[in-house]
Amino acid sequence: MSEKQDDQPNKKAWTEAERLELAAKLDKDLEDYIDNLDKKSYSEGWPEDRWQEEMEKHPFFMTQLPENPNEVSPLIEGLQQLKYSEEYNTPNELAQSYKEDGNFNYKHKKYRLAILCFSKGISSKCENTELMAQLYNNRALAQFKLQNYRSGLNDSKQALKLKPDYLKPLHTAAKCCFKVKNYDKCVSYCDQVLNMLEQKNQIDYEIVTLRAKAVKEKKIKLRDIRLQELKEKKGDKIREEIIEAIKASKIRTDNSDVFYDSQCHVHLNETGEYLVWPVIFAYPVNNQTDFIQNFQEDILLIEQLEEMFKESPAWDTKQAYIISGTENTLNVYYEGIDRKPYKVDVNKPLGSILQEEKFIVKNGTPWFFILLADSKEEESFLKAYR
């Protein structure tokens, strides 16, 4: 036993300090060795500054498909087929996949894409009533976000047919009805929601507020309808009075609606004694017109013309159009019922002129033509009617 021990070499006993010193030396030697290796860049890995971009290219990590269909890899196409192919999926599985895609797009506010996904799910002919109701409800929510309120209401109704106690489509239907101003239906849907929640000792303050708004808007709507009806009745009475006044004055019209323009039409003055007409004065030579909104029939035509020509119009560069008590360079005509021109006595009141045998009021507005007296233009104007 002692002989074997004598044959073995003597081992040095290391102190703890010596061990630490040796370990530090080995680390330093390894670092020096690595630093002296040839520098080569690793091109097969993902660069640190573009790792997100590279992950998007991987079919298992991408969050959206490439816009260009030609860029879709065979692996992605395969995954799509596995997910959406009718060969590999049941109608229920397809509907579920489209629902998940629709929810993803809805979450990211891509409402039109969401509607497309939900529609695909609905068309899959899924036999799961619960799932179909969810698809209709989710599509209704997306329609509401796009302000397609009637479509949202229709989808909500479809969801409720499949699942009558479904709160979400009731909620959406109430909001859609409010937007399309169907306040009675809005209140009805709100009541259904509140009754269902009352059984669970719950309350939806949004629905409570919506119901109150619908009731208020309904009252306003009914009030406006009553006011409109009263206004129309009053308007009909006034129209009858005006028509009777025109007939009593024996003024001819072309039977068109003299009230075609609600802003400027013939009406009675405040005392109901005189008709007040909108009148157009045309200047054929200058291609200009003047519109007099309120011309009372007892006013002389010359008084109106003098008012119009107190100052020369901007288009009358030669200041040739003059009419006053001492000077008159103008002649006034109207086109008669026989389509011939008739000269107007400007010293007559408007009502008397309108009562002339050949005068006819067209489209509820009398027309007069103003030309320079004894001018070539006046001669050409008169010749055009011969």
CA-angle at 231, arms to 226 and 237, nearest 5°: 130
Same domain for 341 and 280, yes or no, is: yes
CA-based nearest residue to 351, from 302, 300, 315: 300
pLDDT of 211 reads 95
Hey, what are 330's tokens? 């103008």
* Structural domains of the chain, count: 2
**Worst-scoring range by mean pLDDT, 76-80, 229-233, 322-326, 365-369?**
76-80
- Which residue's entry shows tokens 């709507």? 221
Cβ pair 105, 117 in contact under 8 A? yes
Asked if residue 16 belongs to a domain, the reply is no
pLDDT of 1 reads 47
Sequence-distant (6+) residues with CB within 8 A of 384 are: none
pLDDT in tens, 312-352: 899 988 888 988 767 889 999 999 999 999 999 999 999 99
pLDDT in tens, 189-218: 999 999 999 998 999 999 999 999 999 999
pLDDT in tens, 46-83: 555 665 565 455 444 454 555 555 555 554 555 555 56
% of the chain with per-residue pLDDT over 90 = 57
Average pLDDT over residues 12-29: 74
**Worst-scoring range by mean pLDDT, 2-16, 78-92, 171-185, 210-224?**
2-16
Same domain for 187 and 297, yes or no, is: no
- Which residue's entry shows tokens 């007892």? 298
**Final residue belonging to a domain, choices 178, 202, 218:** 218
Residue 199's domain comprises 83-218
CA 384 to chain centroid, in Å, comes to: 50
Asked if residue 283 belongs to a domain, the reply is yes
Same domain for 378 and 275, yes or no, is: yes
Rounded-to-integer distance, Cα 95 and Cα 98, Å: 5
Cα–Cα separations (whole angstroms), residue 183 to 3, 197, 227: 112, 21, 19
Name the 3-class secondary structure at 46. coil
pLDDT of 125 reads 83
Is the four-CA dihedral 6, 11, 12, 15 of positive or negative sign? negative
**Final residue belonging to a domain, choices 161, 193, 218:** 218
Same domain for 181 and 285, yes or no, is: no
Q: 142: domain CATH number?
A: 1.25.40.10
pLDDT in tens, 123-151: 988 899 999 999 999 999 999 999 999 99
Same domain for 138 and 195, yes or no, is: yes
197: left (phi over 0), alpha (psi -120 to 50) or beta: alpha
**Final residue belonging to a domain, choices 218, 233, 250:** 218
Asked if residue 226 belongs to a domain, the reply is no
Hey, what are 1's tokens? 């036993």
Confidence of residue 2 (pLDDT cuts 50, 70, 90): very low
